Each structure stands twice: as C-alpha cells, then as structure tokens.
Structure 1
Amino acid sequence: MLVSNIASANNGLTQNKKQMPLYAFGSNGSGQLGIGHMDDVSVPTQCIFTTDDTGDDQNGINDASAQDEPIRIVAGGNHTLALFKSGAVYAAGSNKNGQCAHDPSRVPSLLQFSRVVIVGEEGRRIDRFNAVSATWEASFFVDAEQGHLYVCGVGAKGELGLGENCVEASSAMRISEFPSAGKEIVSISSCVSHTVVTLSDGEVHGWGISRKGQLGEGNIQKKILWTPQKVEGIPFFACQVACGREFTVIAGHPETGEIAVLGSNKWDVLSGRPKEIKEYTILAASWHGVYVHKKDGSAISWGRNDRGQLLPPHLPRRAKLAIGSEHVVAILESSKVVAFGWGEHGNCGTNTDPQGNVAGRWNEVPLNIEGSTVTGVGAGCATSWVMTS
C-alpha cells in the first residue's frame, strides 16, 4: 500500500527506490524529508531515493552508491536539496512551482529524493554541481563544469535574480552574465527572501529583498534587487557568507578572521558580533542567529535564544554543526548526535518542553544505523538530517 501511495503522489516516477545513507526527522507536511510519506517524525528515518520506471539511471540513483556520500543539506520552506560528494543533487518535497527542478505539471510533489538534472544551453545535460542554496520557494544550483548559476521556483520580490518582475521559473533558468567572465562563485547562501554570494575576486553580490540593509546600506531605498548587484562597503576580501532572515554575515579568510554583519539588528545580531572569528571552519546563520564553528571544535553563537536556539552552556566540543531555521544539530566528539532549539515538529527529538523547545540543554538523538558511520549532519526549516557512510 505504501508503494502504491508514493507512486500516485509522484505521478509514476517512483517505480524503483533505494534506501540511502541519509536519515531525516522533523517537519514533513510536504514530503520534504524524502521518506515516502507526509507525516512528521521525531526519530531519524532513512531517506528513499528513486529512479524512473525505465531503470536507465536517468535520475542518477546508481551514482549515489556506497562510494558516494551526502555532504550538504539546504532547505526552502517545504523542499529540500541534498548535495552529494560526487556533485549529484537530489530534491524532495513541494514542487508545485518547480523548486525541485522537475516539471511541476507532471510532478507537483516528491515524497522521495529524485536526481536534479538541468538542461542548459544547446541542450547540455547538467547533473553535477559545486554548491546549492534555497529561498522559501526557489532553488539555486552552481554548475560544476562551467560555474553558471541556475534558479528555479518562485519569488515575488526579486528572489530569483532573473530581472525585474520575473517572479516564476517553473524550469531551471540560468542567471545570465553572472558570475561575469573570469570569476567564480566561492560561497552561496540564501534565506527566506534573499541570496548572497562571494566571488573568487573577494567581491560580494546579492539579490532579493534589500529594505533592511541585508544587501548593503546603499540598496536599502531600492527595497528589492531584481538581479545580482555588488554589495558595497565590505572592507576586506570576502570568502564566506551566511544569510539570516533579515541579515547577512560575511567573513574574510580564516587566518585573518574579518567579519561584517549587514541588515537588521533585531536580537542584537549586528551589535553582538565579535571583532574577529579567526580559525573558523563553518559560518552559518539561523533565521535570527549566527554561529561560528572553529578548527579546535569550539563554537560561538549570538542572536535569538528564546527557544534555546543558541549553544547551551557546557555543551561538549563539537565535531560538526548544522544550523536550521530555529534549531541546531551537532555531532559531538564522542560521535553522539544531539539537537536543541525549537523542536515542535520533532526536529529536536521527542523530549521537548510543553512549547516544543529544547532550551538550555540538548537531546541525544537515537540512531539505528548499525554498520554505518555518522559523517555529517544537516538542518533546515524544522528539519534535521544525519549523514552516514
């Protein structure tokens, strides 16, 4: 019965399925966990990856073998993108506006992960990517071969970056002339309504909503940037970027540790920043907070903490950190996986307070992955992920 229901929801594209080294728990009302149904779960559940019914590897399931590993999860409001070490990307969840890079008239939702394949200029097949990001209802893909940036989905306020009043791309479209010749995208981050990238020459560019200063003070009056524009006033060579709901965090090289925060100062996101973040390995942002993970396993965080989103006191050193919309998933040096913050959808496990929070402490996440090793974690919009090999 389960297979029958899944095939119906995905319009017959899920005849062949395979469980993969990725586990998910949390919000799942649109199938964004890729576990075959649309019910929230509070225990890590193995994700399902599909091929089409011809078995010709059109969706690339044979690439995601035991030799391949998921390395990054990004999430929109109701969809998820999983980037693998090979460069393969898989999507799950709502596709009603094409945000999963499939034809929405044929596949309005994906309850299992399906391979992203984009048709580029002159019919070129693009199925390997260097990076991905997602706004609420759109997705971005950096072509691994040529470095071009593609977008699909919807965004009424410039989120697509395709030009004034271009608010829908039901199939993936290239953002033309970006990056310009001789430049490459080094880092890309999106939040609900804006996207920012750093380029190989140290410049920062962004698009989407700009009225809070998240795309630089010079763009506040414009309110919306419909195409990628340079963010002026960054006094250092930018290497990494992280987007919160109404702010942007930009960092220089880890050896020098420069940091700039642009946009709204709600929850003291701007005023609470440190002077430098030397030796950082991960720069990340929730909707209302900032997190910096350093080479020695230490970490700092600042911003909103009314639901326990920030690092709790006495949390042991972390091997990995993943930051969601309002929660955190971490691998401790003991190899335990823990979660804390706002967990009302089960994304922090079952042991929450009456408001659905794990505040001032952490939950150890029970894992049933016998024979596998935890290699990473991910976090999205009330979703949590455990990567294994």
Structure 2
Amino acid sequence: MKTNLHQTALNQLKQLLRVKDTLFTLNRSAGSYKQRILKREDMKEEIAQYIGENAKQAQRVYVWGCAATGALGIAKFLRPEKGHRPLRQVKTPSRMKSMNENNMKVYDVSCGYGFTVYAVKKGNKHFILGTGINTDSQIGYHEQPRNSGRILDYVIGPTQIYLPLKDPETTRVSSVSCGRAHTVIVTEGEGVYSLGNNAYGQCGRSIVPEEVFRKNPRVNVLTDLPDNIVKVECGQDHTMFLTEEGHVYSCGLGADGQTGLGHYSNIDKPTRLKGDIEGEKIVSISSKGDCVLGISENGEVFGWGNSEYNQLSMVTEETQVNVPRHLPITKNCGKIIKAVAGGSVCAVLNSKNEVYVWGYGILGKGPKLDMCMEPSKLPQALFGQNELQPEVKVLDIVCGLGHFVALTDKGDIFSWGKNKYGCIGLGKETDQFFPLKVSLPAEAVSVYCGVDHTVALAKSFC
C-alpha cells in the first residue's frame, strides 16, 4: 500500500514538473514573440521616421503629343531598343527622366511649332536647352559629331543652346518664347536674344532678302528695345515684348494686323504699340497664331490681329484689326486675370476662377457648338467641382492652335480641343469636345502648349 502511494506521489510530482516546464517554455515563447512584435513595431516606426525625414516633392517633367519631330525630348521614342518601332506620337503623359537624372530644375518652358525650349538650373549654373525641329536654326547651331560639318535639322533630346553672354553660367532667363520657326530669350541683366527664321523681321533685326536660315550659327542681340523687358510672347511669325511699366513693343509679320502698329506691313524693328492700350499697364499677352489678346492690371482685355473667326467681333465686323482695341468682356465675365489666343479659338479666366471661351472650333461645350461670337462660360463641374470637391478652382489656362489645357488648384490638368498627334494627352486619337482630366502621376504646377505637343511641370506626390 505504501509503495502504491509513493508511486502515485512520484507520478504527480513528475506531472507537475512537466507542467512547469511547459509553462516556462510558453512564457519564454510568449516573451520571444512579444519581443519580435516590439522589434517589428520599432522597425515600422524607424521606417516611418526615415520616410518622413527624406520625403520631398521632386520636380517632374511630363510630355505628350507629336514625337516625330523630337519636340518631346525623349530620345528613345525615335531611337528605341532593338525590336521596337519608333513612336510618331505619344497620347499619354510620359516622364522626361533626363532632367532629374542630371539634377536639373526647369523654371521656364516654351513650345514652338514642333520644338521645345527649356530654361533650367543645375546648382548655381543656368542653361538653355532645346529639342525638336531645327531646320531654321531656331534652337541654335548643333553639329554632330563635333567638327564633322553635319548640322542637325532635328534634335531628339535636350541640347544646350549657347548665347553670347558675358556670364553664361550665372545669367538667368526671365522669359522665353517660341514661334513657328524662331525663338526669343529675355535674360536678367544681359539683354534680349533671338534665333531662327527672320523672313518677316520677327527676330527683331533687319530683314535680309533670300537669307538662308538653315545651318545658321547666328544669335541676334536686340539693341532696339528698352532695358526693362520682362516678358516675350511669340506668335506664328511675329514677336511682342512687354516692359516692366506695361508697355508693348512688336515686330514681324503684319499681314493680319498682328503687330498692332496701325498697318499691315512687316517690320523688323521692335516698335511700341498705341491704340486703346495707351495709358494702360499690360501685364500679359497671348498669341499662338495671328490673333493677340492682352490683359491690363485692371483686368481689362485688349485684342488685335486676325478676326476671321470672330475672335474680335465684339468690336469690329472686319476680319483684321491692326491696332489694339478694348474688348468689352468684363461686363459679363468680370475681372480677367488670364487670356489665351489660339489659331481660331480664344479663352479667358476671371478672378472667380471661371473659364469663358469663344471663336471658332472646339470650344469645350460639346460637338454641336463650334462657333461663338462672345465669351461663353464653361460649367465649373467640367473641371472637377462637385459635392466632394466644392472648392476646386481653375488657376491657369493655356492653349495651342486648337487645343486648351486648364490647371486647377488640386494639381489636376483638364484638356480639350483638336487632338493633333495626341496633344491633349487623353490616350486617344479623337478630338475632345469637353474638358476631361488628364491622367498624370504627379501634382501639376504649370503647363505649356505647342501646336501639336504639350509639356507639364509637376511635383511628385512624395
């Protein structure tokens, strides 16, 4: 009997020891698991802090539209990898990585007729880059290989444009604009320069009969201008200069009155405009074709040039206006802060961030409305304003010859109009009759339009 009791007690003791060992193992495992959890959370915290310390919005450059000319500046479109075909058009935004890879910051852009010019900064150095059509030396003299005598009519990637500056590395560009085949650059402290076709005097120098512009290394220094030019705007074959006081000078083709100098002749010397803008401070000018719109600091609109498509029908029944005329737009549209003039279409943006359109073409009000003689408002809902985003505002509008682009305070881009080579960026080939949002993987900051391509400067989301 004693032996049995002794054996039972011994078995119970062994069982208690096994339970103790199990509990010890469980506690140890739990402690290890807890340590792993804490370590994982610490790692998460460390990673979150790491991102927070280093997350900065970086500049992004996106391009779309006609790629065949090289205006998009992405060389692989025309020189693809083996097994791929060259791209003639790009219908959705593509990122130009070369700018970021070379640590360049773009601060001004202009899109010409098949070419693009960039003002960029790298560290403390400033550069001017050009890409695209160069048949009239509108983006400079480019030889490849060097000393080969082989001059490039097309440049497929951003290439430096050299100006005869005293201090080329630190001189900043204050404004750049491109026309059909010429480029004008305003610098800070070193004057105004022009390149390219001067058949009508649009480069601001004497017209030379039968001059050949191809393979021309000449860069013109404009001496017949005031010292305080702050802005330049190139139309198709004419150029306008804006001074700090708000005076306007022009030169070039005047066949439609686009120079605004009271005649229809060509002029190669920049001359100050008068008419209804006399005594007004003009703060911005727009012209992609032969019609010109200007805005005063009071928000009034002035126009001159081509009116074949009723761009200026508010003040004339003639098809041409050769002197600036005040357009009675503010009565119905309010104070205007931006105006754009395409080939046959016009638009304004007022201080309430509302967009009005008129002219002939795709205006953004559907396929049934292709002509409007006076400004007509586009509904705010077309630019993303709804119950979830009731405060969306259009901050800027730009245009090409036949397409428009609007930029909102949310960093979104909306485009509409003639879809030449996919320049509206919506991933399709057909025209767009209403503003539609462009799918851009970044926050848009500014947009620039050519006749068949578009460039957007943006910031990364993180």
Does TM-score exceed 0.5, indicating one fold? yes
The match for 2:438 is 365
Q: Which amino acid aligns with 2:232?
A: I
The match for 2:200 is 157
Contact 2:396 2:406 in 1 (8 A): yes
Which among 158, 180, 187 is matched to residue 143 of structure 1? 187
User: Residue 286 of structure 1: CA displacement?
Assistant: 1.5
User: Residue 102 of structure 1: CA displacement?
Assistant: 3.6
Contact 1:135 1:159 in 2 (8 A): no
Long gaps (5+) in structure 1:
1-18, 51-59
The match for 1:100 is 139
Contact 1:149 1:178 in 2 (8 A): no
The structure in which a higher percent of residues are helix is 2
The match for 1:40 is 89
The match for 1:73 is 109
Hey, what's the Cα distance between the residues in 1 that align with 2:121 and 2:301? 28
For 1:385, what is the secondary structure of its paired residue?
strand
For 1:266, what is the secondary structure of its paired residue?
coil
CA-atom RMSD in angstroms: 3.0
Q: Which amino acid aligns with 1:22?
A: V
Hey, what's the Cα distance between the residues in 1 that align with 2:134 and 2:246? 34
Hey, what's the Cα distance between the residues in 2 that align with 1:343 and 1:357? 5
Indicate how the Cα distance of structure 1 residues 216 and 388 shifts in structure 2: closer, same or farther if over 3 A, else same: closer
Hey, what's the Cα distance between the residues in 2 that align with 1:218 and 1:229? 11
Indicate how the Cα distance of structure 1 residues 294 and 102 shifts in structure 2: closer, same or farther if over 3 A, else same: farther
Indicate how the Cα distance of structure 1 residues 289 and 232 shifts in structure 2: closer, same or farther if over 3 A, else same: same
Indicate how the Cα distance of structure 1 residues 358 and 228 shifts in structure 2: closer, same or farther if over 3 A, else same: same
The match for 2:164 is 119
Q: Which amino acid aligns with 1:269?
A: Q
- The two structures have a TM-score, normalised by structure 2, of 0.66
Structure 1, residues 220-260: CA drift from partner, whole Å, max 9, x if none?
A: 2xx2112212223233232221124222222211xx22322
The match for 1:15 is none
Structure with max Cα Rg: 2
Hey, what's the Cα distance between the residues in 1 that align with 2:142 and 2:300? 42
Structure 1, residues 318-372: CA drift from partner, whole Å, max 9, x if none?
A: 233221221112233444322110013111235657xx3101x1332223x3xx4
Q: Which piece of structure 1 moves more, 313-322 or 272-281?
A: 272-281
The match for 2:27 is none
Report matched runs for 1:1-389 at 5 Å: 21-36=60-75, 37-38=77-78, 39-49=88-98, 62=102, 64=104, 68=105, 70-84=106-120, 88-103=127-142, 105-120=150-165, 128-146=172-190, 148-165=191-208, 167=211, 168=213, 170-171=216-217, 173-180=219-226, 183-216=227-260, 218-220=262-264, 223-233=265-275, 234-235=277-278, 236-253=280-297, 256-272=298-314, 273-276=327-330, 279-306=335-362, 308=364, 312-313=378-379, 314-316=381-383, 317-350=393-426, 356-359=430-433, 361-367=434-440, 369=441, 372-389=442-459
Identity among equivalent pairs (%): 18
Q: Which piece of structure 1 moves more, 300-309 or 288-297?
A: 300-309
Q: What is the total number of aligned residue pairs between the two structures? A: 344
Contact 1:319 1:331 in 2 (8 A): yes
